[in-house]
Structure 1
Amino acid sequence: MLVTCFVGLSAWQVDRAQHKNDITNSADVDEVKDFNAVMNAQAPMPGILADQRVSLSGHWLPDAQVVVPGRVQDGDDGYWVVTMFAPDDAHLGEGVTAEGADEKTIAIPVVRGFTTGEDAAMSSQAKSGDVELTARIGPIEGPEPGNDLPEGQVRTVSTSQIINMFPDLLTYSGFLIPEKASGAAASIGTDGLAQVPTTTTRDEGGFDLQSAVYALEWIIFAAMALYMWFQLLRDDYFKRRLGEDSQDSENRAEYVVVKPAGSSTIDPEVMSNLTGLPAHRHGGKKPGKAGKSTRKTDTSTTGGN
């Protein structure tokens, strides 16, 4: 029963490994949704929103910009230029409070473009004015130390790290990679920058290695349970076999009766056989005394005649 359960759990993990994207694919991330309807500032971003297409309007904050080195596009190493964008009608998450929220601007990092030149990245500036964007949401990256980088550069698109550089802003747990921009201040893939493709941040199909490892672990547990069952069965078999062998004549223990029932003394001959000592040493008669008595009797009889 236990082995069957473990094997069933293993099969379930294999199924998860093969079909891990069924739920996320059904979310229809290619449908364009209103940004403010799916994203709340200062609140965690559900993982299902990764790669979701959204539309929004707003304006750039040109002075709130960072450069991210170590990016690759079309096989070339280079830099991302990431500028903070203030969406219209942005709002905090339900029940979320932030100190000085009324005096701060809500903004989200937007990847404006890619360039292989550090100088071009550092000098690029977004324009002022209204902008309308269609973009995909990217899950925020973890912060990494960048003390060795020039001022204005960070290693990852981490909102916690960016906000430390611009304390007058409130932000989101995600960033945007634009598909298209319109308006006088579009500033996407311009000013010496190449537009960054909206790469899919969610895994697309394939085999989930983590679930596969879990499946293997359940198989190991099943094998251990089967081994323990076999050992118990084997031990029980040998116990039963030993019990039967003890009744065989070849292995039957032999007992020697040294004192018959009802007797108060031990048979000297029996004890002699056991110890190897003469019977008289165990209370029997000495053979020599009987011989001497016989010879004396014979001598006296002969002399009388």
Structure 2
Amino acid sequence: MGSLLLVLVLVTCFVGLSAWQVDRAQHKNDVTDSAGVDELKDFNDVMDAQAPMPGILADQRVSLSGHWIPDAQVVIPGRVQDGDSGYWVVTMFAPDGAHLGEGVKVADAEKKTIAIPVVRGFATDEDTAMNSEARDGQVELTARIGPIEGPVEGNDLPDGQVHTVSTSQIINLFPDLLTYSGFLIPETADGAAASVGTDGLEQVPTTTTRDEGGFDLQSAVYALEWIIFAAMALYMWFQLLRDDYVRRRLGEDSQDSEKRVEYVVVKPAGDATIDPEVMSGLTGLPAHRHGGKKPGKNTGKKPESNNTDTSTTGGNSA
């Protein structure tokens, strides 16, 4: 009963955790929404150059002003928008008031410009993407911060194209720049040099890097695992119960068998031979096969003689 109580407690905990994972799978955006990512914040208050970006800043709305660096631009193939495959045009943007992270020291930092990659638009045509240029001038942006992508070798691509928005890879192309561990997808761009969604480019939705809902497969798998753990706990308790039952039954059977043991005296103490009748009962063979008497044969009486006394009948002497 103690083990059953423990198993029931474990099963209750496992089922509760599974239900929590299911709820999380259905409402996976609640944490993001509660983190205040929709609140508009100043870019320089939340982002530091040359410093890691906290994951909580992913999808954060920010406002900033600055100018484009038209010569620092890359095109990223393999992007999909509204079901169409095409290219992102990513141009480096120098924010006003940009600063390095606390404690970060970079050689010749005063000779370099701090800039962040900004997705200016999408095009299905490669020539349109490659020939698009940002304008010179002041720009004010409202954007969302996108988590940086991992670098991918791009030797198979034409000059000016890379596979991902990787700041480490982009900076290798433009060594005179310092950058951030993230990129921006503009919501709005104001000013004569806005250059977002212009010259044949379509503006990229800010929901591109956001998780807008649906069912979280990872949380669903975790929920299934907790159910499996609960089933395993019940199975292990059943196995222990069955083993105990079998052990008890075996103990009772051995005691009963000891009570039913019958002993047969084959040879009394001091006798040199075994009683043929006893051996017959054990082997099933006739007793005479074990040295006993054959049935129907009487060896204790002598047969009567049929000879007559001729001495008295042979004749009388005259």
TM-score by length of 2: 0.80
- Partner letter of residue 141 of structure 2? L
State the alpha-carbon separation in 2 of the partners of residues 6 and 231 from structure 1.
Answer: 19
- Partner letter of residue 57 of structure 1? S
- Partner letter of residue 295 of structure 1? K
Cα-to-partner distance string for 1:28-60 (whole Å, 9 max, x where unaligned): 222110101111122222222222111112221
Aligned counterparts, 1:4-43, within 5 A = 4-43=12-51
- Larger mean Cα displacement after TM superposition, 90-99 or 213-222: 90-99
Question: For residue 50 of structure 1, what is the aligned residue in structure 2?
Answer: 58
Cα-to-partner distance string for 1:197-242 (whole Å, 9 max, x where unaligned): 3225232233211111111112112212222222232233233334
Question: For residue 264 of structure 1, what is the aligned residue in structure 2?
Answer: 270
State the alpha-carbon separation in 1 of the partners of residues 107 and 16 from structure 2.
Answer: 51
Q: Report the Cα offset of residue 138 of structure 1.
A: 1.3
2:58 is the alignment partner of 1:70: no
State the alpha-carbon separation in 2 of the partners of residues 183 and 218 from structure 1.
Answer: 54
Structure label with greater radius of gyration: 2
Aligned residues: 296
2:104 is the alignment partner of 1:104: no
- The correspondence for 1:230, drawn from 225, 233, 238, is 238
Question: For residue 119 of structure 1, what is the aligned residue in structure 2?
Answer: 127
Question: For residue 160 of structure 1, what is the aligned residue in structure 2?
Answer: 168
Cα-to-partner distance string for 1:75-106 (whole Å, 9 max, x where unaligned): 44332211101112212223333344333221
Residues 116 and 9 from structure 1, CA distance in 2 versus in 1: closer, same or farther, beyond 3 angstroms? closer
Cα-to-partner distance string for 1:109-145 (whole Å, 9 max, x where unaligned): 0111223332222222222222221111111222333
Q: Percent identity?
A: 80
Q: Is the 8 A contact 1:110 1:175 kept in 2?
A: yes
Q: Is the 8 A contact 1:246 1:252 kept in 2?
A: no
Question: For residue 186 of structure 1, what is the aligned residue in structure 2?
Answer: 194
Q: Report the Cα offset of residue 71 of structure 1.
A: 2.6
Cα-to-partner distance string for 1:228-257 (whole Å, 9 max, x where unaligned): 2222322332333344455669x9444323
- Partner letter of residue 40 of structure 1? D
- The correspondence for 1:195, drawn from 203, 210, 216, is 203
State the alpha-carbon separation in 2 of the partners of residues 280 and 102 from structure 1.
Answer: 124
Q: Is the 8 A contact 1:142 1:158 kept in 2?
A: yes
Question: For residue 295 of structure 1, what is the aligned residue in structure 2?
Answer: 302
Aligned counterparts, 1:73-152, within 5 A = 73-152=81-160
Question: For residue 315 of structure 2, what is the aligned residue in structure 1?
Answer: none
State the alpha-carbon separation in 1 of the partners of residues 36 and 299 from structure 2.
Answer: 124
Question: For residue 3 of structure 2, what is the aligned residue in structure 1?
Answer: none
- Partner letter of residue 270 of structure 2? S
Question: For residue 207 of structure 1, what is the aligned residue in structure 2?
Answer: 215
State the alpha-carbon separation in 2 of the partners of residues 75 and 10 from structure 1.
Answer: 35
Question: For residue 240 of structure 1, what is the aligned residue in structure 2?
Answer: 248
Question: Does the residue aligned with 2:24 lie in a helix, a strand or coil?
Answer: helix
Residues 4 and 294 from structure 1, CA distance in 2 versus in 1: closer, same or farther, beyond 3 angstroms? farther
Gaps of 5+ in 2: 1-6, 310-318
TM-score by length of 1: 0.83
State the alpha-carbon separation in 1 of the partners of residues 292 and 162 from structure 2.
Answer: 114
State the alpha-carbon separation in 1 of the partners of residues 19 and 205 from structure 2.
Answer: 38
Question: Does the residue aligned with 1:6 lie in a helix, a strand or coil?
Answer: helix
Gaps of 5+ in 1: none
Q: Report the Cα offset of residue 12 of structure 1.
A: 2.8
State the alpha-carbon separation in 1 of the partners of residues 206 and 264 from structure 2.
Answer: 97
State the alpha-carbon separation in 1 of the partners of residues 153 and 123 from structure 2.
Answer: 22
